[in-house]
Amino acid sequence: SSLPANASCTVSLVFVPTSSGTRTGAFTVTDSLGTQTAQLSGIGLAAAPAPLPPLALTFAAQQVGTVSTAQVITLSNSGDQPLTSIAVATSGDFSAANNCGSLLQGHGSCTIAVTFVPTLVGTAIGALMVTDEFRTQTVDMTGTGTAPPGVSAEPASINFGGLAAGTPSSVQPVT
């Protein structure tokens, strides 16, 4: 295409790196007066991947109403860019202390301390959810609540089976 004398035009360039590191190139325009070249450069930054190991935590038996020793999970950002919008949540009888805050710098790491505080005797299940700007990662958690000393029930469960309405079952002792 042609451009009238004493006129100008604007060309918009966009840099879209395909990998990390310094990238160079050139923008060249050839016209009746020759070739004009503008040197281009940019730095591709690695994304902020932050895989969350392990995928599951198992807590030792813990007395109901008491706090377990914390298990620590490390969140690492091996990318060049900061990982933002970090939030931590738990479900079940588990709690977490987010020592990461809401931002993790590139090539940095931080910890999340998880504890188990059973509210009932028996198996407890829950999850740790770590959310950032890209995704939500989940760590499944299990623990067993135990009765305080001097308190127990045996057997732990009784199945009375099927009975007609109004018919009493046989006596089942619990000690």
Give which of 129, 147, 151, 125 is closest to 58, Cα–Cα.
Answer: 125
Strands 71-76, 109-116: pairing kind? antiparallel
Confidence at residue 113, expressed as pLDDT on a 0 to 100 scale: 97
Q: How confident is the model at residue 105 (pLDDT cuts 50, 70, 90)?
A: very high
pLDDT tens digits, residue range 121-171? 999 999 999 999 888 999 999 999 999 887 666 777 888 888 888 888 888
pLDDT higher than threshold 90 for residue 19: no
The torsion region of residue 148 among left (phi > 0), alpha (psi -120 to 50) and beta comes to beta
Q: Is the pTM of this model over 0.85?
A: no
Q: If you ran DSSP here, which 8-state letter would residue 6 be given?
A: T
57's CB contacts (< 8 A; 6+ apart) are: 71, 73, 114, 128, 139, 140, 141, 142
pLDDT tens digits, residue range 34-84? 898 889 888 877 666 666 777 899 999 999 999 999 999 999 888 888 999
Q: How far apart are CA 130 and CA 114, in angstroms?
A: 12
